[in-house]
Structures are given as C-alpha cells and as structure tokens.
Amino acid sequence: MIKRLSALLLAVVLLISLPCTATACNEQCNTYVTQILFGDSALNYASDDSVKMLLDALYLCSEQSDGLGQDKLDFLKSKKVNKIPSLSSLNIKSNYLLECSHNSWESESATTKKAQSVRKKLLQRTVNKVFDFGLFNNWFGSNSGKCNSFAALLYYLHILSDYIADNPVNTEVAFEGFTVSAYAGQPFVLLNGNRPLFTAEEKKSTDGFTSFSPLDSQGRCGVAFANICIDIMPPPDSRQALGSIKPSGWKQNNYPGIVNSELPYLYNRCHLIAHQLAGIDDEINLITGTNYLNAKGMKPFEDKVAKYIRETGNHVLYRVTPVFIGENNVASGVQLEGYSVEDAGEGICFNVYCYNVQPGISLNYANGSNSISDSTFEAENIIPFAVMNADDGNPDLILELNRHLAIIFENQKNTNTYIAMLNKIDSIASESRMIAGNKNTPTQNYIMLKEQQYKYFNVLKCYIPLLLAKEDFFKATFSV
C-alpha cells in the first residue's frame, strides 16, 4: 500500500524543480504522518476529508510562514472547525519558523508567542472536530487529555519528518522486474532473496575478464560485468587521475558536517567495478554517485570480494548495473551481484541494490542538482532528536513524544502491543543518546542518527496504527 501511496505522490514531486521547496517539504511531512497513523492502509485515506483537515491544520501549526496558507484556513472553515483565526493572527516570518514549530509542544518563543498560541489552538480544535473530544476542547482547545496529546503527536511527527529530511517518493524505483522500496535509513536492500542472476554456464567459467558497456546517447554508463581473479587485479598505486572525467549529471557541491568532515564533497566518481577489482579508470566505468553510495553502499561489498579473492585465489563473477529512471542523468542506485565460482557461491553470493542517496541532501536525479533538505541542520533553539541524559529539564523528541503516547494510549499501557512498542523505542533511544554523546566526527554522528531516526519512524509506523485501531475516538472517525 505504501508503494502505491508513494506512486500517487510522485507526479506532484516531479513538478518541483528544486528538491527543498515548501511544497516538497509539505508532501514529505504528509507522507510520513499518514503512514504512521494508518500504516500500510495509508492509501485508503489519501483523499479522506478528515485526514486533509488534520494535515492542513498541522501545516498551519508547523509549516506556515510568510502569508501562505489561506486556502487551508478556508478549507477548515468550510468544515466547520470552530473559531478559525485570521491568517494575520497566526502568520510568522520564515526565519522564525524553526524557533516557533520545532520546540516542545508546551514551549513558547518570545518572538512568536502570540502566533504560537493561535496555531496550536487551531490544531487542537481541528483534532477535536475530527474526533469529537468534547465541547470545551472545541471552543477553547485543551492543554491536557487525549485531544491535546493527539495534536502534540501530529506536531512531533512533523518534526520527525524534518529530521529524516527525505521525500520517500524520490528513492522508490522499479527496474528489470524488481520494485525497490524507498530509502529507509539503510544503504542497500536485498534483491531476489540475495541470489544473483548469473546463468548456469557463467557460474562454471574460470576465465578472467572485464566487460564494460559503451556510453549511451546521454553519456550514461551501462552494465559492467567481470569474472575477477588475482591475475587481472591491478597492482597497488596503479589508479589513474580521474579529475578530468565528468560523469553524466555531475554537479558537484560540498556540504561540511553532512557529507564528510574532511572532504565534504557530495559526489564521487564511483567506479562500477572498483579499481581494486580490475575496474578501469575510464568514463565507461564511472558514474556520479554520492559519498554515501560509495562508502556505505558499494565499498563493503567490494572489500569483501577483494579479500576473498586474495585469500582463496578463486574467481568471482561480478556485475554492476546502474539504474537510471527514464531520462535521468544520475542513477537512482546500482545493482551489485557477486558469486564465487570454485565454491559455488559458498564464499561470495549476493544480489543487492545500493541507494544513490545522501542523508540530509536532496538530489535531482534528472540533472544532478542538489541542495540541503535538512532544515534542522545546525539549527539552534530546537528540540533535538536525542540528547544524553534526557529528562524533563533536558528533553529530546523521543522523551516528549513518549509522554503523549502514554496519554493517548492510557487504556492500553498493559497490552503486549504497547509494551513491545515502548521496548523498541527505549532501545532506539538508548542507542541514539549514546551517539549524541560520543566523540565521533560530526558527520559520523549525523549519519548514525539519521539511521536511528528511520528506525524510530518504522517502529511508530508499525505499532501506532495497531494501537489507534483499538481507540474508540479513532475508530469512530476512520472505521478502522
């Protein structure tokens, strides 16, 4: 269902020329929020007016700035949400947005205090209109109870989507009979049960070779195939200079603190077949790939193959297929296949898809342009995802959201579902807080925390729909 929902949103996203526009961020938030509320059934509610009410109110509370959003106010008014404010009463300037909408639900910014109060009451009243928690909540909003905590849940899910800083529809692909789900915090996924697709005849060959496809009419690389052995692997220090080669979609930028602390360049000239595995230093073997694709996706497999060959002297069939969607000049990812010949795959056997992504950066795969998508990067005065020794005086997002989940699901605290969710959240919290307090480089911490944020999202997406399906207020509105 999630794949179909992503496909539905894809047309909207493709119209956006810059990956980090307000519209793209809004679609990203909406996608994550609906997945957490409804799980795999999210598509069923894509056009539901009650969902639109919640998402429009969330936008006005958490994303509105610079006079935008009158259409959403008009929609909420048409749905009889009580005491709809004027746009001017909730409007803020964009440079105050993080300060206003990325702190704890209860906090108040001196700069935007009045607007914050209006925005939060609008979200509370909309939540109450959708779920009917009572007349008092409808007229005044409430600072306690399930109505308030459900509004806080939406608010914090928006912040989480900004921390993830990715629009999932950009990284879901289909090719050669495979459908690859959107990037979810791990650099690769398995294809075909991790079994490569070499023919029976190819699996018997012990003739070393390399084969590269010519560039196509757009200057893009094709499949690279090899049967790698010691005899064709290059000697040390034989790599050629690559600076003059500009693979298709090459639009280099640097992002200190996000990509790499020392060499913060987004793009690498990624060898399809690594130089150490007999790959040539030529344009037919080089694609525009992110630092993350190169270091986290491809290199662990390349190193494993190289080590195996050096230790055994055996041959390894190795095929790399860059995956270009449509006329895109930058590959969405690469398929890697490996198979050790002499031991029939006992030593090396894999079939994986590595994502050409960079956490925190939006890529335009059509032309290679790129920009920061993480609006929270190095921002001050916002609630962090995780901090060491989190408590009421030093809160993080996980701690705050846990508090509201306990109120929403007060009657389910002793159920196996709720306990299992909390156990997994506690594990993620422990790991994330250790990362936040360690002495790794800022970039290492950034990447590791992104992985934890995806884990957290996946836990919420798994358990919250199950718990909401047993809450009377939710069932009455959505018939789950």
Lowest mean pLDDT among 25-29, 182-186, 262-266: 25-29
Flag whether pLDDT at 457 surpasses 90: yes
Span 192-214, pLDDT tens digits: 999 999 999 999 999 999 999 99
How far is the C-alpha of 364 from the C-alpha of 310, rounded, in Å?
A: 39
CB 333 within 8 A of CB 304: no
Which pTM does this prediction carry? 0.88
| Least confident window among 7-16, 28-37, 48-57, 195-204 | 7-16
**Backbone angle region of 233, left / alpha / beta, with phi > 0 → left and psi within -120 to 50 → alpha:** beta
d(CA 203, CA 344) in angstroms, rounded, equals 7
Q: Lowest mean pLDDT: which of 106-120, 145-159, 204-218? A: 106-120
pLDDT-derived band of residue 118, with 50, 70 and 90 as boundaries? very high
- Percent residues over pLDDT 70 in the chain: 93
> Contact, 24 vs 10, CB < 8 A?
no
Q: Which residue has better confidence, 388 or 260?
A: 388
Q: Domain ranges in the chain?
A: 2-167+376-478, 169-372
Residue-level pLDDT at 110: 86
- Does the structure show a pLDDT above 60 at 5? no
169-372 homologous superfamily: Extracellular Endonuclease, subunit A (3.40.570.10)
- pLDDT > 60? residue 392: yes
Q: What is the pLDDT of residue 239?
A: 83
Identify the pLDDT of residue 261: 65
pLDDT at 56 over 50: yes
The pLDDT of residue 69 is 97
The answer, yes or no, to whether residue 137 has pLDDT greater than 50, is yes
Looking at residue 454, its amino acid is Y
Is 320 exposed, middle or buried, given 0-12, 13-18 or 19+ CB atoms closer than 10 A? buried
Query: Which residues, at least 6 apart from 437, have a Cβ–Cβ distance to it below 8 Å?
Result: 387, 388
Where do the H-state alpha helices sit in 132-266? 135-140, 145-164
The pLDDT tens digits for 395-406 are 999 999 999 999
pLDDT computed for residue 25 by the predictor: 61
Question: pLDDT-derived band of residue 416, with 50, 70 and 90 as boundaries?
Answer: very high
User: Is 171's pLDDT higher than 80?
Assistant: yes
Question: In the predicted model, is pLDDT for residue 20 greater than 50?
Answer: no
pLDDT at 480: 63
Among 103-117, 254-268, 341-355, which range has the highest average pLDDT?
A: 341-355
pLDDT tens for 233-245 read: 998 888 888 889 9
What per-residue confidence (pLDDT) applies to 6? 43
User: Has residue 8 got a pLDDT over 60?
Assistant: no
Q: What is the pLDDT of residues 320-362, one digit of tens each?
A: 999 999 999 999 999 999 999 999 999 999 999 999 999 999 9
Residue 13 pLDDT level (bands cut at 50, 70, 90): very low
Measure the CA angle with vertex 89, ends 86 and 95; round to 5°.
Answer: 125
Q: What is the C-alpha separation between 8 and 136, in angstroms, rounded?
A: 38
What is the per-residue pLDDT for 138?
A: 66
pLDDT of residue 237: 81
Which has more pLDDT, 270 or 442? 270
User: How confident is the prediction for the chain on average, in pLDDT?
Assistant: 91
pLDDT at 1: 40
Neighbour count for residue 244 (Cβ, 10 Å): 6
